[in-house]
Amino acid sequence: MNNLKKIFHKLLKKKNLKVLESEELFEAIIEKKLNSIEISSILSLLASKVENFDEIYGALLVLNNKAKKIKLPSGLIDTCGTGGDNKGSFNISTATAILSSACGLKVAKHGNKSITSKSGSSDILLALGINVDTSEKEILDMYNQCNICFLFAPNFHPALKNVSEIRQNLPFKTIFNLLGPLLNPTELSFQLLGVGDKSNLYTHSKCLAKYELKSAWVVHNDNGYDELTTTSSNTIIKVKNKKLFNPIKLLPQDLNFDVCNQEELSGGSPEENAYLMHRLFDGETGAIRDNVLLNTAACLMISEKVKNWQEGIDLAAQNIDNFSAKKKLEHIINITNKK
């Protein structure tokens, strides 16, 4: 307990924790050695100081160690963001996961219900009629039939139940938002990971470099989105075989996309976002389509399914226009509703 007091005082002075200190702290949080007031204080202190790599990585080691894992075939990609960007945007990463699968990628989408926004990835899936609270056998059945599955975070990270109520009562994103995309319970080969805060481009790239990934991109949009968007300039850090590459800037104009307003990407309730998803896969054009094409093209490049942006955009567009994505979504809905 003396060590925990030292950690508290360190955070009060806005000093960064070392990896071992972070491990000790998060072990205490998960094992209920701290009460809700103490945990709220810690999460607030970390957020006000801004969480560094050692703190995120230390927490990650603890949570990964306590996670329930699932064995799936190799070659998987996840499309997940940190959330908490307060944009209220359409669920681009979930639509990207479904379209990527329609384009031939193997997808294991990790997600949760919303903590800090109107509609998390699991919220829109439920609104679409897709059951995410499934057994391991049901997950494997879905994957074997659809080449995509959804991994509902609470089923694989039961230890986080201890902090879910605290998170919901805090009016800002916490370190747990930052940890979510790094906690996929299966072994990935590829990942498109979005961060809403520019500083997390480096923390999350360094974390992914510790994994056995073939290739991953950590992306951030300058307007604060935790994904690539056509609203403004984007920054990309590529991670390949445990090595980080220099940041790359990407403008929508570079890919002949129209720059859109943030309002054009606005979503709403899970039901409203589900309606937008159906319209997207029915072939509706506009900003939402452009942004899903952009992120799907990124997934196709990360997975080396295409050689360049244009090939990726064309393949993604083709799989909307020929209704492959619509059929994929319908197939997922049918599979998950079978008794």
Which contiguous run of DSSP H or E holds residue 277? helix 270-281
Summarised one tens digit per residue, pLDDT across range 281-316 is 999 999 999 999 999 999 999 999 999 999 999 999
Q: Is the pLDDT of residue 84 over 80?
A: no
Summarised one tens digit per residue, pLDDT across range 225-284 is 999 999 999 999 999 999 999 999 999 999 999 999 999 999 999 999 999 999 999 999
Q: Which CATH number fits domain 2-66: 3.30.460.80, 1.20.1730.10, 1.10.3680.10, 1.20.970.10?
A: 1.20.970.10
Where residue 113 falls among pLDDT bands split at 50, 70, 90? confident
If you write DSSP's letter for every residue of 174-210 in order, what string do you get?
Answer: -HHHHHGGG--SS--SEEEEE-SSTTHHHHHHHHHTT
Q: Which CATH number fits domain 76-160+176-330: 3.40.1030.10, 3.30.1360.120, 3.40.190.10, 3.40.50.410?
A: 3.40.1030.10
Write out the two tokens for 150: 């959804």
Q: Give the residue extent of every domain in the chain.
A: 2-66, 76-160+176-330
pLDDT of res. 4: 87
Determine which of 3-12, 88-97, 158-167, 203-212 has the lowest per-residue pLDDT on average: 158-167
Q: Is the pLDDT of residue 34 over 80?
A: yes
pLDDT of res. 218: 98
Determine which of 59-63, 95-99, 282-286, 334-338 has the lowest per-residue pLDDT on average: 334-338
Task: Tell me what the pLDDT averaged over the chain comes to.
Answer: 94
pLDDT of res. 243: 95
Average pLDDT over residues 130-137: 92
Write out the two tokens for 203: 């923390």
Contact 213, 188 (CB under 8 A): yes
Write out the two tokens for 300: 């196709």
Where residue 38 falls among pLDDT bands split at 50, 70, 90? very high
Summarised one tens digit per residue, pLDDT across range 158-204 is 988 889 889 889 988 899 999 999 999 999 999 999 999 999 999 99
For residue 60, give Cα distances in angstroms to 148, 184, 214, 294: 25, 11, 20, 29
What is the identity of the amino acid at 58? Answer: G
pLDDT of res. 3: 86
* pTM of the predicted model as reported, rounded to 2 decimal places: 0.95
Where residue 94 falls among pLDDT bands split at 50, 70, 90? very high
